[in-house]
Amino acid sequence: MPARARSAEGVTDVHGADLPVRRRRARQIVKILGETYPDAHCELDFTTPLELLVATILSAQCTDQRVNAVTPALFAAYPDAAAYAAADRGDLERLVGPTGFFRQKAKTVQALGQQLCDRFGGEVPGRLVDLVTLPGVGRKTANVVLGDAFGVPGITVDTHLGRLARRFGWTVETDPERVEAELMTLFPRKDWTLMSHRVIWHGRRRCHALRPACGACPVARLCPSFGEGPTDPAVAERLVRTAGRG
């Protein structure tokens, strides 16, 4: 495990502290992030579970902003699972093209529509065990849909949450499912979805992969990775984004 820089309060360990201490520190961080980002939410635009499911599939290797620019026309052209199943592949590829990997994404979305029709009456199922059997749907995508479309708590381990969970000392794992399992021990189930949003927002706005804005971070005193980015407040403030980039 790489050495960690000291935070403002000297937090240095990952699993050196016992579980109650780690749990208390993790929840304190998320509480502060909630005060920093009171409007934290899923940044993909949707009105139905199907729209969120499709948008999440399209968001792979693409920003949420780019997906949101594409989906109004896509959702208007394909309002239900049957429409995706019956879509002309070329038309579908053209509409999802700006999100990248358009051939594979179009193929996946069309197969998704067909399976929803064949197995679930055209409706998106509201259970993790069913969602992960669908084309293009892993645990991350399933948890996004469950948490934001069905109100079922879930931890969404995307690149941001995984990165910050390691920086905060919550885990040393890199496998998303192992990260998810470890975070389940730190937070009450009812908070899983909101915790995910708050941490992801922080990762998009301040705790960047290459140059985190450490000097402008509201949880610096609790972070064992403080110092990985600029600690000078003026320098760090210039790295802060007012909106996420996916």
Confidence band of 243 (pLDDT split at 50, 70, 90) = confident
**For all residues of the chain together, what is the average pLDDT?**
93
Question: How much of the chain, in percent, has pLDDT values that exceed 70?
Answer: 92
The pLDDT assigned to 246 comes to: 60
Q: Is the pLDDT of residue 245 over 80?
A: no
Which structural domain range is residue 108 located in? 49-123
Within-domain flag for 142: no
108 and 34, same domain (yes or no): no
The pLDDT assigned to 16 comes to: 61
Residue 242, token pair as written in the block: 């007012």
Please count the structural domains in the chain.
2
Within-domain flag for 11: no
The per-residue pLDDT for range 172-200, each reduced to its tens digit, is 999 999 999 999 999 999 999 999 999 99
The pLDDT assigned to 4 comes to: 44
The per-residue pLDDT for range 92-111, each reduced to its tens digit, is 999 999 999 999 999 999 99
Mean pLDDT of 195-213: 97
CATH code of 99's domain: 1.10.340.30
Output 133 or 14, whichever has higher pLDDT.
133
221 and 176, same domain (yes or no): yes
Q: Is the pLDDT of residue 10 over 90?
A: no
The pLDDT assigned to 1 comes to: 34
Q: Is the pLDDT of residue 236 over 70?
A: yes
Within-domain flag for 7: no
Mean pLDDT of 165-175: 97
The pLDDT assigned to 17 comes to: 72
The pLDDT assigned to 67 comes to: 98
The per-residue pLDDT for range 29-67, each reduced to its tens digit, is 999 999 999 999 999 999 999 999 999 999 999 999 999
Domain end, chosen from 104, 123, 142, is at 123
32 and 63, same domain (yes or no): no
Mean pLDDT of 1-6: 40
34 and 93, same domain (yes or no): no
Confidence band of 3 (pLDDT split at 50, 70, 90) = very low
The pLDDT assigned to 242 comes to: 84
170 and 230, same domain (yes or no): yes
Model confidence pTM above 0.75: yes
Q: Give the catalytic positions in this structure.
A: 140, 158
Within-domain flag for 184: yes
Within-domain flag for 70: yes
Within-domain flag for 54: yes
